[in-house]
Structure 1
Amino acid sequence: MSREENRKKLLEFLESIRRPDVFLESVADREDLVASGLIDSLSVLQIVTFLEQEFGFDFAAMGTDPGRLRSVESILSLIEEPRA
């Protein structure tokens, strides 16, 4: 999948879990999703589940730094990294 296709899939998911009073369009790709108010801290768990189901991540085995899930840009970079 291309970066743009991954971005579209991620943005569609974020749109489904965002807080109703904050719009996805108002948050830059490098902006912290929680600090911006787009999602709350519990939504990060939903992002983990989404990445496991859609992209085959195994976070239990990977031991990924939660900071890598802070922004659209950092999540896309994680998706693009080669995995064993």
Structure 2
Amino acid sequence: MARSEEWGKCKDCKWFQIEPGASPENNTMGLCIEETLQDIRLRVSGNSGCNRFMAGEVAHAEGSSAAPPRAKAVR
């Protein structure tokens, strides 16, 4: 299990990519663009979280909230 200081919510993570103009809220859906997870095209909510968390500004790209996500990672 991850230590708490390595874990965080997607809405506060630099690997969370959402639609242009969207705000990173609990219910906002987006794409996880963490480098080792990009091939999975993992769609997550702002309230999701994991131990690959890295605090920072979220990214924005059209198609990030689609199911399945159509956007490419912008970082």
Normalised TM-score (structure 1): 0.31
Tell me which structure has the larger Cα radius of gyration.
1
The structure with more strand, counted as a fraction of residues: 2
- Higher RCO (CA-CA < 8 Å; seq separation 6+): 2
